[in-house]
Structure 1
Amino acid sequence: MSLANRRIGLLHHVGGGNLGDEATLESVAENIKRRWPTAEIIAFSMNPDDTNTRHGIVSHPIRQTGWSVGYKPAETDATFKASVKALVRNCPPLFSLLKAGNAVARQTTGILRELHFLTSSYRHIKSLDLLIVSGGGQLTERDGPWGFPYTIFKWIVLARWAGVRCMFLNVGAGPLTGPLSKLFVRRALAAAQYVSLRDQKSRDLLDEIGFKRACPVYPDSAYGLQFALPSNVIPLERRSHPIVGFAPLPYPGPRVYAAEEDQIVYDVFIGKLAGFASWLLGQSCALTVFGTDIGVDPMAVKDFETVLANQLGINSTLYSVDRTASVHDLLATMARMDFVVTCRFHGVIFAHLLNKPVLAIAHHPKVSDLMADLGLSNYCVDIRNFDLNLLTDRFASMIANAEDIKSRMAVTTTRNRQRLTNQFDELFDADAAATMAREPSWSWRRRDQTGRLSCG
């Protein structure tokens, strides 16, 4: 194998609209290309068409049924099936017979389709030299054990059967509670030549489920993203009103709320956010409403606007809504903000990269853990029990301490970016490339736990 023909696969559950996950994929791809310019990058995604368009790289599906933006199942033959069902319902005996037969056929067909998909996937993966599970919260039982855990496990198994080296790069873990989910994750990690995590809580969780190998912890790969700041950003001291970026999300879940109690929680949450936004406008702040997940956040933004208009009498001329659909456009928009209020993990990271003081409304422990790592716990509230008084108090404190916050954020941003640079330099240096080209059974060099490489 010549160095010019090196092919790297990046596997990530992207394509649903989460711009944070898109940022990690882009960061990994561009950092590899910077060090191995002749390498060919291939993506394995939940939405290959979107990934190809967004990142300009050849993309393949990682499951039989992928996503469209919004995490909805990709278009299938559902309309045809619905028509057939409507016809047979008019004949109850036939409907009962078909229903019973369908249960058996569905299991058999599902197995056959999966075998066909695995065969097709094997053809894609056997041409690779390296498969990287490229960041994000990949080690989770979202959608149950047959969702993320099985998907990761089957691709690692396929790669190993094909003699392809595997790497988990700065991934997040949790929740993992089911025994089958734990088994899939544990076996997948054990088959990889290199594993690194994006936070200590993920490392601790893997230890709890029985994966005892020493693996380093690095910052989220989004910190390695290269971007250009817009040239027309006007400093706060030259403006009469600070710009506050405000990012609602659909809580408690990213999909349509089936349970009545979830809808009640959601309505209360959006009402609290609207009340806080009204307070910000009353403090002469300019408000820019945005989202970091273009798949599901727009529906929360729309509901937020409805509450502002119908319950608080605030029309849309008093604030702006950002509807950008790419990572770099979003960063350009956020660069014009002075302060950020967000609920999402990568919303915090984007604010951190841009050195914008951030108030986090944490919907997941990973958000509060990140804020703690940044020394910003005082500006993080729990989404389950916050109120308007708590938000206004924390925001006022953030304003008063803005310069100190920005100074500390700048230090940690530099540190995180440098640590990722060191990691990528060592993982994808010339020696590693030459070894890959020379040895068909190449494996990563083992280092001790304090080194930048481990898990040989």
Structure 2
Amino acid sequence: MSNPERAQRVGLFGRLGSGNLGNDATLEAVIAFLRAKYPDAVVDSMCSGPEVVTARHGIPAYQIHCLNNSRAPRSRLGRAVLTVPRIALGAVIDTWRTVAWTRRHDVVIVPGCGVLEATMPQRPWQLPYSLAVMSVAARVSGVTAAFVCVGATVIRQRVNRTLMRISTRLARYRSFRDQLSLDGARESGFATSRDRVYPDLVFALPAPVADPGPTGVVGVGVIAYHYSADDPRTDELYDSYLVKMRRLVRELTTSGYQVRLFVGDDYDEPLIPMLQEEAEAGAIRYDRCETFDELLNRVAGVDVMIGSRFHNVIAGLKCATPTISIGYGRKNAAVMELFGQGEYAHDIRDFDVDVLLEQFTLLTHDRERVVKELAERNSAVERGLAAQFDALSAEVFANPPVRRAGGVPA
């Protein structure tokens, strides 16, 4: 019988509940682990979408950036004048709230996600600063901070790199979701020789097996990816990607396939009507997925998954659905190689539609063998994640510290 006096207080921290299906899936995987292994743990979250997290998981949740939901002035002049005061005020308030929230826990976990990546633009005063404040507060208060299966790249931006180095090196536990992430973290000064690599947390979630098919349906995942704000080619590259994806969809529907469109974040949805213009009504279908579980069930029903968002690719691999990746970061290639599918990984900046269509044909003809191979790889990945959860139990949850009293910010 579990002892309520020994129940640990566990906080889940990060960009969670904000509409990114992959980030939310990593949160779901950690909550499932906690409920199975530590059913008496008192769990809450400081995150980007507290209402969503509370509704889905039944845990208290608090806004990570208090000014995120306030409406900015419409005029350019108004935004320019108020940007610096808003950032300064937000930093002061968020610092206090994050410190107060962190102090009331025994363990704070940053669950997965690409929190240490530069593949998407991150401003220093956003998540990098929040992570640093959380880790400093945890170290000073004796709270165990853990970065679990996170993604990382080499960070060139000096302020972001400094803040991320503070947050990771003060944490008492770190693991990374692939070797590329660990290598990038070490080069940036975020990791040490004792840190380890485990598969992405999302692979711990249950998933349906791919439909034996053929179904005549192809999954196409799209992303509204504008590269880097500092890259003068960003609009040109984005336009090129969109032109190629429109041609890909058109070729598939002309060949008699039905296309089911997927996104991985709310920001991607404006692309849907642009692609639906490429075919007759009914040939291209889009059903919004509110959860990763919904995404998995729909991906399991397609013949081949062609995805851009990282966790659309993971959904295909997890369901043992033959998958082609059009990736914006090396993480896509890394996970495809983990499943023995490296030849089907393409760079979003220069992929060739003709090559994709040739590979699609090969995968449809050899689908039975590929599905079996992916299922075998999934078994190995699940064993790797069992080792990750064992490591968490031994290194993070063993010998819990004395719980401190403290208030929760509203």
- For the residue of structure 2 that corresponds to 1:250, the secondary structure is coil
- For the residue of structure 2 that corresponds to 1:360, the secondary structure is strand
Matched, 1:336 2:307: no
Per the alignment, residue 278 of structure 1 pairs with: 250
Trace 1:55-66 onto structure 2 (pairs within 5 A): 55-66=57-68
CA distance in 2, matches of 1:392, 1:111: 50
Q: Quick one: structure 1 residues 434 and 258, their matched pair in 2 at CA, closer, same or farther if it must change by over 3 Å?
A: closer
Q: Answer yes or no: is the 8 Å Cα contact 2:112–2:150 preserved in 1.
A: yes
CA distance in 1, matches of 2:137, 2:179: 29
Trace 1:184-199 onto structure 2 (pairs within 5 A): 184-199=163-178
CA distance in 1, matches of 2:97, 2:351: 49
Q: Quick one: structure 1 residues 182 and 334, their matched pair in 2 at CA, closer, same or farther if it must change by over 3 Å?
A: same
Q: Answer yes or no: is the 8 Å Cα contact 1:248–1:290 preserved in 2.
A: yes
Q: Quick one: structure 1 residues 397 and 235, their matched pair in 2 at CA, closer, same or farther if it must change by over 3 Å?
A: closer
Query: Which of the numbers 129, 134, 137 marks the counterpart of 2:114?
Result: 137
Q: Quick one: structure 1 residues 138 and 258, their matched pair in 2 at CA, closer, same or farther if it must change by over 3 Å?
A: closer
- For the residue of structure 1 that corresponds to 2:325, the secondary structure is strand
CA distance in 2, matches of 1:261, 1:31: 43
- For the residue of structure 2 that corresponds to 1:159, the secondary structure is helix
Per the alignment, residue 159 of structure 1 pairs with: 138
RMSD: 3.0
Query: Which of the numbers 368, 371, 375 marks the counterpart of 2:340?
Result: 375
Stretch of structure 1 that moved more, 1-10 or 211-220: 1-10
Per the alignment, residue 407 of structure 2 pairs with: none
Trace 1:71-110 onto structure 2 (pairs within 5 A): 74-76=69-71, 78-79=72-73, 110=87
Kindly name which structure, 1 or 2, has the bigger radius of gyration based on alpha carbons. 1
Q: Quick one: structure 1 residues 85 and 297, their matched pair in 2 at CA, closer, same or farther if it must change by over 3 Å?
A: closer
Q: Answer yes or no: is the 8 Å Cα contact 1:47–1:61 preserved in 2.
A: yes
TM-score normalised to structure 2 length: 0.88
Give 1:412 shift.
Answer: 1.5
Q: Answer yes or no: is the 8 Å Cα contact 1:35–1:425 preserved in 2.
A: no
Q: Quick one: structure 1 residues 191 and 84, their matched pair in 2 at CA, closer, same or farther if it must change by over 3 Å?
A: closer
> Residue deviations 1:362-388, cap 9 Å, x none?
221111122122211121222212222
CA distance in 1, matches of 2:268, 2:56: 19
Per the alignment, residue 114 of structure 1 pairs with: 91
Query: Which of the numbers 157, 173, 177 marks the counterpart of 1:178?
Result: 157
Q: Quick one: structure 1 residues 244 and 153, their matched pair in 2 at CA, closer, same or farther if it must change by over 3 Å?
A: same
Per the alignment, residue 260 of structure 2 pairs with: 288
Query: Which of the numbers 268, 271, 280 marks the counterpart of 2:240?
Result: 268
What is the number of residues matched between the two proteins? 399
- Segments of 5+ residues of structure 1 without an aligned counterpart are 67-73, 87-98, 309-313, 442-456
Q: Answer yes or no: is the 8 Å Cα contact 1:11–1:45 preserved in 2.
A: yes
Q: Answer yes or no: is the 8 Å Cα contact 2:135–2:166 preserved in 1.
A: no
- For the residue of structure 1 that corresponds to 2:114, the secondary structure is strand
Per the alignment, residue 305 of structure 1 pairs with: 276
Q: Percent identity?
A: 25
CA distance in 2, matches of 1:276, 1:367: 20
CA distance in 1, matches of 2:76, 2:174: 48
Q: Quick one: structure 1 residues 3 and 342, their matched pair in 2 at CA, closer, same or farther if it must change by over 3 Å?
A: farther
> Residue deviations 1:321-350, cap 9 Å, x none?
121222222222112112111012111111
> Residue deviations 1:417-448, cap 9 Å, x none?
1211222134236x9756216x679xxxxxxx
CA distance in 2, matches of 1:212, 1:422: 19
Q: Answer yes or no: is the 8 Å Cα contact 2:146–2:396 preserved in 1.
A: no
- For the residue of structure 2 that corresponds to 1:212, the secondary structure is coil
Stretch of structure 1 that moved more, 49-58 or 196-205: 49-58
- Segments of 5+ residues of structure 2 without an aligned counterpart are 405-410
Per the alignment, residue 311 of structure 1 pairs with: none
Q: Answer yes or no: is the 8 Å Cα contact 2:261–2:286 preserved in 1.
A: yes
Matched, 1:318 2:311: no
- For the residue of structure 2 that corresponds to 1:41, the secondary structure is strand
Query: Which of the numbers 246, 251, 256 marks the counterpart of 2:220?
Result: 246
Q: Answer yes or no: is the 8 Å Cα contact 1:133–1:168 preserved in 2.
A: yes
Q: Quick one: structure 1 residues 416 and 144, their matched pair in 2 at CA, closer, same or farther if it must change by over 3 Å?
A: same
Q: Quick one: structure 1 residues 258 and 303, their matched pair in 2 at CA, closer, same or farther if it must change by over 3 Å?
A: farther
TM-score normalised to structure 1 length: 0.79
One-letter amino acid of the structure 2 residue matched with residue 49 of structure 1: E
